[in-house]
Chains A and B, each alone.
Chain A
Amino acid sequence: MLGAIYALIALGYTMVYGVLKLINFAHGEVFMLGAYGALLASWWMGHGPNGQAQQGSWLVLGIMLLTAMATSGGFGLLIERFAYRPIRNYPRIASLITAIGLSLLFQYGGQIFLLEGKFQAIDGKVMPASLEGDLKFDIKGKNLALLDEAKKLRPELKEAAAAFDEQLKSETSRFQLSPKGTELRDARDKIDRQIKDLENEANNGAVSISISKAKLLMFGTTLVLMVGLTYLVMFTKPGRAMRAVSLDFNAASLMGINVNKIVSLTFFIGSVLAGAGAMMWATFISGNKIDTFMGMAPGVKAFVAAVLGGIGNIPGAVLGGLLMGVSENLVDWAGYDGYRDAIAFIILILVLLVKPGGLLGSNKVDKV
């Protein structure tokens, strides 16, 4: 499920790289700003740190999502217009350093302007009640025969317990039982144990998967956004222009495409996707706090995901993101949670060494 978020962020990296051949290191910060957008929207709607804790609704979630997307998109446009466009014709290193500078600027500048210090996380109550809890799928049912057997033993247990209670009345002390009392107690405990064993066996045989509903919603939203993106890129006029610019920047501008507009559009869409990812990350994954540095780790991992799938390649970014999420969870599951953040880089280095074009990418030969 984490992979879905990585995929959303990775799309931003990959689209910008596709048209500009630029790694937008400030993308993680765009993600961070989107999360703040969602946070402020939720506060505005009464889910603030001291607000009355009423249960949220779908409307609240929708508004938060839209605010996050708008915030991120707006900042993406601003960054492109005022930081990247003026230096587009300089050597690539210049834009790389600008990107690092912007990233630092948002991280530390954000500490001044955004609400600092306090514990900041989106209140879990913004979710409507129907979204709470887990959805459970039974793959293999419980062993009902065993449960029946256990049920049949119940009356026996009752009898034994009653007999023991009867005996207890004639005993002087609960802790120093007469031989008969001990016998009755043992009999009762034996039946009790039998029932419990049967029940355990029945339950252990069952296999079921439980997924939190919020995470399913997250996955669903991601899918919808990706389908929308595919439609936009493959079947609309701006999408075709985008692909043309990505193929050959100069030739596209000679063919009458307004390159500046297309680059802006690409930044906007990439940032909007990051904003959506940020809102879901902050709302649905419990325990995710919001601070100005929160964009760093997911940003870097999403970048790795983009490279893994083949940077500049949209389906590749999605694949890479999902793989990234899975591998991270696998590392956790294997017990090396200290190395959780290292796995991204290890994957990155391996990919670049073995297949620099990425899984779905192609190798390009440089010419003098």
Chain B
Amino acid sequence: MKSPAKFWLTRIVSVVLAIVGAFAAQGAIDGMKNSFVALLFVLAGLYVTLAVSLNLINGITGQFSMGHAAFYMIGAYTAALITKLAWKSQMNPMAWVLLMIVAGAITAALAGLLVGIPSLRLRGDYLAVVTLGFGEIVKIIAKNQEVLGKAYGMNNPLKYQSIFLVVLLAILCIAVCRNLLKTAHGLSFLAVREDEIASAAMGVNLTKVKVSAFVLGSAFAGAAGALYSHGLAFVSPESFSMDMSFLIVTMVVLGGTGSITGTSIAAIVLFLIPEKLRDLSNVKMGMIVGIGIALIITVALIKRAQDHYHKSSPPKAVVVIGLTIAGIMLAAGLGAGLANIPGLAAEVAGSKLRTVLLAVTLVVLMLLRPQGIFGHHEFSWSWVQKVLGKKNVPNVEVAA
């Protein structure tokens, strides 16, 4: 048990570090004078917030929600609508954006309450479909309302792109989730994920846990939405499609359901890789076919090794890594070889491969490592200390 003084000291230092870090990020990005990089940074930060907040619902509480884009959208539209109605140019933009973040969070939290209550009766696949449906309904309503600009969307009169706020929101979201997990409240969230009936029998208030997970998760998504709406100064129903919800779910699953570290890293990687792939050069059809065949063979072999390999030497991990390397070589060889076959020489625009790659990643990951890359593990300083060779470190890693 730490002493209270030390506890508060770490808290204050963390908060100061977070604010300084956010300012530093703002300064660094502003210094580059590249508005595209700034935009990418803002969006990546927002995706981190979204993924971590969905992780609270999906990974930590085990309520499979696939409508996270809807909460994001509600936050964005709230901010745009209120700003359109009430914004006066003599007001302080920073204070207004902060106010809008709160407003977006509140409306999204109310929506989260609306979805959280039915979730008491549903579990698993059904809940997934209801949340998916909720996302679509929200989108369709926005498409049919005159005041929300119908299918075109609406402008937000105040364009205010603040990296500082984005970073701070992401850090706040991560901190809230992490601190929640370290308390007794967090344990009841985890218990609900592991077994609802058993945890109810142990005295966990299922209603309270599920609804608070939904409200908290959607409030963060709504706050992120408000920042999005001010950052881009434009919102349209099409930018919050089902694909976006799927992308956020992929981030959570890829990073490791329940792992905040994994989710954050996966969010950044999964957001940036498709952006990089936008300017991928054209690919020959043969190459795609070759890589596809190699991928199927490799995945099948690795799967077989995982399931049926029981010898002690060489260790299983070595076999898997060896197969992976062999697979990459096979892919390179087949890709280069088949590209020369005239029948498969048609060119395919590289940008079309973005979502395909996402889908392939998802399927392969589920086949080979369904618990996600990080599994349930978290980054922690004691782990760093262990890696650096320090002995007798207490294991404080959260078993999330």
**A: which residues have CB within 8 A of B?**
22-23, 82-83, 86-87, 90-98, 100-105, 107-109, 111-112, 300, 303-304, 307, 338-339, 341-342, 344-346, 348-349, 352-353, 356, 366-368
Query: CB distance A97 to B198 under 8 Å?
Result: no
Query: CB distance B356 to A97 under 8 Å?
Result: no
Interface residues of B in 101-138 (CB under 8 A from A): 118, 121-122, 124-126, 128-130, 132-134, 136-137
Instruction: Tell me how far the C-beta of B305 lies from the nearest C-beta in chain A, rounded to whole angstroms.
Output: 13
Contacts of B303 on A, CB cut-off 8 Å?
86
A108 and B349 CA atoms in complex are apart in Å by 12
Contacts of B354 on A, CB cut-off 8 Å?
108
A107 and B359 CA atoms in complex are apart in Å by 10
Segment at the interface with A among B40-48, B161-169, B333-341, B363-371:
B363-371
A94 and B360 CA atoms in complex are apart in Å by 14
Known: A108-B355, A112-B348. A101 touches B363 (CB 8 A): yes
Query: CB distance A112 to B362 under 8 Å?
Result: no
Query: CB distance A98 to B362 under 8 Å?
Result: yes
Query: CB distance A104 to B359 under 8 Å?
Result: yes
Query: CB distance B129 to A108 under 8 Å?
Result: no
User: Can you add 12 more A-B contacts, CB < 8 Å, to A96-B64, A97-B362?
Assistant: A82-B296, A101-B362, A104-B356, A108-B355, A112-B288, A339-B144, A341-B136, A342-B141, A345-B136, A349-B130, A353-B121, A368-B197
Query: CB distance B130 to A348 under 8 Å?
Result: yes
Query: CB distance B118 to A349 under 8 Å?
Result: yes
Task: Report 13 cross-chain contacts, Cβ distance below 8 Å, ordered by A residue.
Answer: A86-B367, A93-B64, A93-B124, A93-B257, A96-B128, A97-B250, A101-B360, A104-B362, A107-B355, A108-B354, A300-B136, A348-B130, A352-B118
Query: CB distance A353 to B118 under 8 Å?
Result: yes
Query: CB distance B363 to A105 under 8 Å?
Result: yes
Query: CB distance A97 to B136 under 8 Å?
Result: no
Contacts of A353 on B, CB cut-off 8 Å?
118, 121
Of the candidates A92, A98, A303, the one whose C-beta lies within 8 Å of that of B129 is A303
Query: CB distance A87 to B367 under 8 Å?
Result: yes
Instruction: Tell me how far the C-beta of A141 lies from the nearest C-beta in chain B, rounded to whole angstroms.
Output: 43
Most interface-central of A95, A104, A338, A346 (chain B CB within 10 A): A104
Known: A93-B64, A100-B246. A356 touches B140 (CB 8 A): no
Could you count the A-B residue pairs with CB atoms below 8 Å apart for me: how many are there? Answer: 122
Instruction: Give the 5 A-B CB pairs with smallest separation, nearest first.
Output: A345-B133, A101-B362, A105-B359, A104-B359, A94-B370
Instruction: Tell me how far the C-beta of A37 lies from the nearest C-beta in chain B, rounded to whole angstroms.
Output: 20
Contacts of A82 on B, CB cut-off 8 Å?
296
A297 and B356 CA atoms in complex are apart in Å by 20
**B: which residues have CB within 8 A of A?**
64, 118, 121-122, 124-126, 128-130, 132-134, 136-137, 140-141, 143-144, 195, 197-198, 201, 243, 246, 249-250, 253, 257, 285, 288, 296, 303, 348, 352-356, 358-363, 366-367, 370
A121 and B198 CA atoms in complex are apart in Å by 54
Of the candidates A103, A303, A346, A367, the one whose C-beta lies within 8 Å of that of B137 is A346
Query: CB distance A87 to B370 under 8 Å?
Result: yes
Query: CB distance A339 to B359 under 8 Å?
Result: no
Contacts of B198 on A, CB cut-off 8 Å?
368
Query: CB distance A96 to B125 under 8 Å?
Result: yes
Contacts of B64 on A, CB cut-off 8 Å?
93, 96
Of the candidates B129, B136, B358, B370, the one whose C-beta lies within 8 Å of that of A23 is B129
Instruction: Tell me how far the C-beta of A242 lies from the nearest C-beta in chain B, rounded to whole angstroms.
Output: 21
Looking across the interface, which residue of chain B has its beta carbon closest to that of A116? B352
Contacts of A341 on B, CB cut-off 8 Å?
136, 140
Known: A87-B366, A98-B362, A109-B359. A356 touches B137 (CB 8 A): no
Query: CB distance A98 to B141 under 8 Å?
Result: no
Contacts of A109 on B, CB cut-off 8 Å?
356, 359
A367 and B201 CA atoms in complex are apart in Å by 12
Contacts of A100 on B, CB cut-off 8 Å?
246, 249, 362
Most interface-central of B129, B201, B250, B354 (chain A CB within 10 A): B129
Query: CB distance A98 to B133 under 8 Å?
Result: no
Of the candidates B126, B253, B257, B366, the one whose C-beta lies within 8 Å of that of A356 is B126
Of the candidates A105, A111, A352, the one whose C-beta lies within 8 Å of that of B130 is A352
Query: CB distance B136 to A83 under 8 Å?
Result: no
Contacts of A102 on B, CB cut-off 8 Å?
359, 363
A327 and B125 CA atoms in complex are apart in Å by 24
Instruction: Tell me how far the C-beta of B370 lies from the nearest C-beta in chain A, rounded to whole angstroms.
Output: 4
Most interface-central of A94, A100, A107, A307 (chain B CB within 10 A): A100
A346 and B134 CA atoms in complex are apart in Å by 8
Instruction: Tell me how far the C-beta of A357 lies from the nearest C-beta in chain B, rounded to whole angstroms.
Output: 11
Looking across the interface, which residue of chain A has its beta carbon closest to that of B138? A342
Contacts of A86 on B, CB cut-off 8 Å?
303, 367
Instruction: Tell me how far the C-beta of A348 lies from the nearest C-beta in chain B, rounded to whole angstroms.
Output: 5
A367 and B196 CA atoms in complex are apart in Å by 10
A177 and B361 CA atoms in complex are apart in Å by 85
Contacts of B137 on A, CB cut-off 8 Å?
342, 345-346
Contacts of B361 on A, CB cut-off 8 Å?
101
Known: A23-B125, A97-B366, A339-B144. A349 touches B134 (CB 8 A): yes
Query: CB distance B130 to A342 under 8 Å?
Result: no
A101 and B360 CA atoms in complex are apart in Å by 7
A307 and B129 CA atoms in complex are apart in Å by 10
A83 and B303 CA atoms in complex are apart in Å by 12
Known: A97-B249, A352-B126. A104 touches B140 (CB 8 A): no
A87 and B307 CA atoms in complex are apart in Å by 11
Most interface-central of B124, B125, B126 (chain A CB within 10 A): B125
A338 and B136 CA atoms in complex are apart in Å by 12
Known: A93-B64, A94-B366, A346-B137. A368 touches B288 (CB 8 A): no
Contacts of A367 on B, CB cut-off 8 Å?
197
Query: CB distance A108 to B367 under 8 Å?
Result: no
A285 and B354 CA atoms in complex are apart in Å by 33
Contacts of A339 on B, CB cut-off 8 Å?
140, 144
Contacts of A23 on B, CB cut-off 8 Å?
125, 128-129
Contacts of A97 on B, CB cut-off 8 Å?
249-250, 253, 362, 366
A107 and B126 CA atoms in complex are apart in Å by 23
Contacts of A103 on B, CB cut-off 8 Å?
359
Known: A338-B140, A366-B197, A368-B198. A112 touches B352 (CB 8 A): yes
Instruction: Tell me how far the C-beta of B381 lies from the nearest C-beta in chain A, rounded to whole angstroms.
Output: 31
Looking across the interface, which residue of chain B has its beta carbon closest to that of A23? B125
A93 and B124 CA atoms in complex are apart in Å by 8
A307 and B64 CA atoms in complex are apart in Å by 18
Contacts of B288 on A, CB cut-off 8 Å?
112
Query: CB distance B358 to A104 under 8 Å?
Result: yes
Instruction: Tell me how far the C-beta of B345 lies from the nearest C-beta in chain A, rounded to whole angstroms.
Output: 14
